Structure 1
Amino acid sequence: MLADPRVKDVGEIRTRFLFDIVVDLDAPLDFGRGPVGRRVLYGAAGGAFEGPELRGEVLPGGGDWALFRPDRAMHLDVRLTLRTDDGALLHMTYGGRYTTPPELRAEMADPAGRHRVDPSRYYFRTNPLFETGAERYAWLNDAVCVGTGYLVEGGIAYRVSRVV
């Protein structure tokens, strides 16, 4: 701990499982290399989410406006619309980082097989935030979440937890 007397022990960060989500993706749109890296849009085609307090579907139309740095790390810039099973709309946004070690890059470049790579071999972390006007889910407006991502056939998936 820092020797500064103003520093306090606030305990460890704790989380509680919120939901699992699978996002089906459209074919990527590659904008090419710009002034800050290569921009690619991975459009959301649909999907589903489920957890103990909420469940529903991912609506088409959102996506990840990903930016690939020169070192091949990916910055996520995601906006999704979720509809709960009782009809509420949730706006979900998140940034994050997705990096693969050099020895995995050839395997991860194969769209037909990259979802078979063990997610513990790469780093894919996010920080979801939510907005909604639905009273039942208003608690999400103040929640900070973290997610662990991984590739699945036809898309991506995350295990999302709320920081408590």
Structure 2
Amino acid sequence: MTAPPAPGAPEAPGLTFLTELSVTVGEPIDVGPTPEGHRRVIPITGGTVTGPVLNGRIIPGGADYQLLRTATLTELDARYVLETPDGHRIYVHNSALRHGKVQDIARLNRGERVDANSIYFRCWPRLTTASPEWDWLNGRLAVGTGERHPDRVLIRIFLID
């Protein structure tokens, strides 16, 4: 839900679509309830990167460190590496919030399919690299949307203009 702009309000920055990540994931490692909330670690096993600007693959070995704050709110902290077709590597640190009805979040946590429209899944990925070709990413901010599927996560990344 978006409120109408106030009279005289500054114009919001635009968004430019960068890429879509299809991140394949393994079975969750359940740490259990901790003082901060229920912790889980989701191994990242690979995936694809497809878009008008950035393409490649996701290198296996990263993970999504999840904190189930409540029965309806999960904080996500994923860290992994992308590799472009010509071998450049880009580190991704993606923080996110996933929110939904109790029954929908419980189904997601059991690995079941849930309609993506019933879940609020937004992220703020940070992409950094040592590659001169992709150095411009180091100075850009991005936001994204996410969808959790039983075997993968779809992340659509947009650069903030």
Give the structure-1-normalised TM-score.
0.87
**2:11 matched residue in structure 1:** 11
Report the equivalent of 1:135.
Answer: 132
Task: Rate the CA distance shift 1:90–1:39 in 2: closer, same or farther, 3 A.
Answer: same
| Partner SS, residue 53 of structure 2 | coil
- Range moving further from structure 2, 55-64 or 153-162: 153-162
1:163 to partner: Cα distance: 0.6
SS at match of 1:120: helix
The separation in 2 between residues aligned to 1:76 and 1:137, in whole angstroms, is 26
Alpha-carbon distance between aligned partners in 2 of 1:34 and 1:41, rounded to the nearest angstrom: 13
Q: Is 2:60 the partner of 1:76?
A: no
Q: Does 1:55 align with 2:55?
A: yes
> Secondary structure at the residue paired with 2:134?
helix
Match of 1:21 in 2: 21
Contiguous gaps of at least 5 residues in structure 2: none
Which runs of at least 4 in structure 1 moved beyond 2 Å after TM superposition?
Answer: 102-111
Aligned length: 156
Q: 1:142-161, CA deviations, whole angstroms, 9 ceiling, x for partnerless residues? A: 11111110023411111111
User: Residues 83-140 of structure 1, C-alpha deviation per residue, up to 9 Å, x if partnerless?
Assistant: 01110000010111001213534543552x41xx321111000000111010111111
* Equivalences for residues 63-142 of structure 1 within 5 A: 63-105=63-105, 107-111=107-111, 113-114=112-113, 117-142=114-139
> Which SS does the other structure have where 2:16 is aligned?
strand
Matching residue of 2:40: 40
- Greater radius of gyration (CA): 1
**Counterpart AA for 1:12:** A
What amino acid does structure 2 have at the position aligned with 1:84? T
Question: RMSD of the alignment, in Å?
Answer: 1.8
Partner of 1:144: 141
Helix, strand or coil at the partner of 2:133:
helix
Counterpart of 1:5 in structure 2 is none
- Percent identical across equivalent pairs? 29
C-alpha distance in 2, partners of 1:84/1:45? Answer: 17
3-state SS of 2:64 partner: strand
